[in-house]
């Protein structure tokens, strides 16, 4: 059996163990414990396995349960240590007038899991108003967060990563977003203002904490899954692209299960209106394949009945150069397109010097030209 097919067997077995509709057992033919644990860590589901077993919904080998319980204890400690920093960050952003919203795993951990430690997350995703990025970064800097190196600009990126060392040496990372996706096409599917209009409170994260309502939360979860197919993400220090992590599919599964009939209809209408029906159908299908999500086939049919051809449809099928062109075309006007080209091709000297510390004696012009040449070489491959 190849390593790839071996991984597929393990992934199906882990999904079966986690699915409430499964038979409560796990079958792992031809798989070593080390390989199973590696896949479970990649999928981010060890704490959830511990919860399923302890709730009596599943059975697992002793070696897997031991590792799962150890991961669960670590997540409990992490959640308790991180939560005050999350609360403080949200409060500071609110006081700065940036209208923060808690996204993805941080929000779902408190709304769709029995306990927040069951939903591991490497960082806290926060969305602020589109023009509030600089004010938000300043508010977080005042709390001791430092911004990691990123290409500066209004259009070339829609997020920045900031890290703060807290009590006991714990590092808390915030992914600060001012659009929901770095892709201009995908970011156009839903705005901060729309999400904020129907946001719900997250009292455990403080009086200022709000998160997307059920319809927008599911849309964002489907977008997050697609984003991983085109942009790298990191698991255990390893950068990856693609792959349906089970914890992402568990998010979608739980969100779909939680929708009532009115919310399902509203979700289908919104996805159709934004040309994202097939994008959402793909995410829900993947979750249902893993977890036998009740009602998923009907929702997928409702999402898939629109004619093909939206910008989002074409974006999902395009290659890297095609996606770049569609994103460029989706910029709002000529000023934005010129700004994007300047930010991409001609970044400021401080960024170039920080990015190329070994080229201290090179001129800024030389660094810029070398950057343009590397970018052209990548796109012409």
Task: Judge whether 256 lies within some domain.
Answer: yes
Q: Are residues 103 and 249 in the same domain?
A: yes
Is 335 domain-assigned?
Answer: no
DSSP per position, 268-285: HHHHHHTT-HHHHHHHHH
Do 55 and 173 share a structural domain? yes
Reply yes or no on whether the pLDDT at 170 is more than 90. no
Question: What sign has the CA pseudo-torsion 26, 27, 33, 39?
Answer: negative
Helix axis angle, 133-142 to 62-95, nearest 10°? 110
Sequence-separated (6 or more) residues with CB below 8 Å from residue 286: 225, 244, 249, 252
Name the residue range of residue 367's domain.
346-379
Q: Residue 28: what pLDDT?
A: 61
> What is the mean predicted confidence (pLDDT) over 98-116?
97
| pLDDT on residue 22 | 43
Residue 337 domain-assigned? no
Pair (210, 356) in one structural domain: no
Asked whether residue 92 carries a pLDDT value surpassing 90, the answer given is yes
In a domain, 95, yes or no: yes
pLDDT for 166: 80
Residue 153 belongs to some domain of the structure: yes
Best CA proximity match to 226, nearest among 205, 203, 243, 246: 243
* Domain count across the chain: 2
On the question of pLDDT at 4 being above 70, the answer is no
Residues 144, 171: one domain? yes
In this structure, are 324 and 366 located in the same domain?
no
Residue 376 has pLDDT above 70, yes or no: no
Residues 258 and 355 placed together within one structural domain of the fold? no
DSSP 121-177: -SSEEEE--TT-HHHHHHHHHHTT-EEPP---SSSS-SEEEEEEE-GGG-EEEEEEE
Residues 266 and 352 in one domain: no
Contact 320, 347 (CB under 8 A): no
CA distance 189 to 361: 45
The predicted pLDDT at position 9 comes to: 87
pLDDT tens per residue, range 281-328: 999 999 999 999 999 999 999 999 888 889 999 999 998 889 999 999
Q: Determine the Cα–Cα distance for residues 251 and 253; give it in Å rounded to an integer.
A: 5
Residue 334 falls within a domain, yes or no? no
- Whether 72 and 213 map to the same domain: the answer is yes
Residues 134 and 264 in one domain: yes
Stronger pLDDT, 1 or 268, i.e. the higher one: 268
Please give the Cα distance from 241 to 83 (Å, whole number). Answer: 29
Say if residue 353 is in the same domain as residue 250. no
CA distance 222 to 38: 25
pLDDT computed for residue 224 by the predictor: 92
First to last CA, the chain: 33
Task: With cut-offs at 50, 70 and 90, classify the pLDDT of residue 31.
Answer: low
Residues 321 and 361 in one domain: no
Contacts of residue 332, defined as CB under 8 A and 6 or more positions apart, other chains included, come to none
Q: How far is CA 380 from CA 183, 373, 374, 376, 377, in A?
A: 20, 11, 10, 6, 5
CB within 8 Å of 296: residues ≥ 6 apart: 256, 284, 285, 287, 288
Residue 336: inside a domain: no
The verdict on residue 209 lying in a domain is yes
| 354, 262: one domain | no
Higher pLDDT: 127 or 29? It is: 127
Band the pLDDT of 27: cuts 50, 70, 90: low
């Amino acid at each position: 059996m190849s390593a790839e097919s071996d991984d597929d067997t393990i992934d199906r077995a882990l999904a079966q163990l986690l699915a409430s509709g499964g038979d409560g057992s796990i079958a792992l033919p031809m798989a070593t414990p080390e390989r199973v644990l590696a896949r479970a860590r990649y999928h981010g589901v060890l704490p959830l396995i511990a919860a399923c077993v302890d709730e009596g919904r599943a059975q697992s080998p002793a070696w897997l349960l031991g590792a799962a319980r150890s991961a669960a204890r670590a997540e409990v400690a992490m959640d308790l240590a991180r939560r005050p920093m999350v609360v403080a960050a949200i409060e500071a952003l609110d006081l700065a007038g940036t209208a923060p919203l808690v996204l993805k795993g941080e929000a779902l951990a408190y709304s769709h899991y029995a306990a927040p430690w069951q939903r591991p997350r490497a960082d806290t995703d926060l969305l602020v108003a589109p023009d509030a990025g600089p004010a938000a970064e300043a508010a977080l800097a005042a709390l001791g967060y430092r911004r990691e190196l990123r290409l500066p600009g209004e259009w070339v990126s829609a997020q920045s990563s900031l890290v703060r060392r807290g009590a006991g040496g714990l590092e808390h990372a915030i992914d600060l977003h001012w659009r929901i996706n770095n892709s201009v096409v995908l970011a156009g599917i839903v705005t901060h203002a729309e999400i904020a209009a129907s946001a719900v409170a997250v009292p455990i994260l403080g009086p200022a904490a709000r998160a997307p309502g059920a319809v927008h939360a599911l849309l964002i979860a489907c977008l997050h899954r697609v984003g991983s197919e085109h942009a790298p993400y990191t698991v255990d220090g390893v950068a990856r692209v693609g792959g349906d992590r089970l914890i992402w599919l568990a998010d979608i599964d739980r969100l779909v299960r939680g929708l009532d009939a009115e919310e399902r209809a509203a979700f289908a209408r919104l996805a159709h209106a934004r040309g994202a029906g097939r994008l959402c159908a793909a995410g829900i299908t993947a979750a249902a394949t893993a977890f036998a999500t009740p009602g998923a086939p009907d929702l997928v049919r409702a999402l898939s009945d629109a004619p093909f051809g939206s910008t989002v449809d074409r974006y999902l099928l395009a290659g890297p150069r095609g996606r770049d062109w569609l994103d460029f075309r989706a910029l709002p006007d000529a000023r934005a397109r010129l700004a994007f080209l300047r930010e991409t091709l001609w970044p400021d000297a401080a960024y170039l010097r920080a990015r190329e510390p070994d080229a201290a004696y090179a001129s800024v012009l030389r660094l810029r030209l070398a950057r343009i040449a590397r970018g052209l070489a990548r796109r012409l491959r």
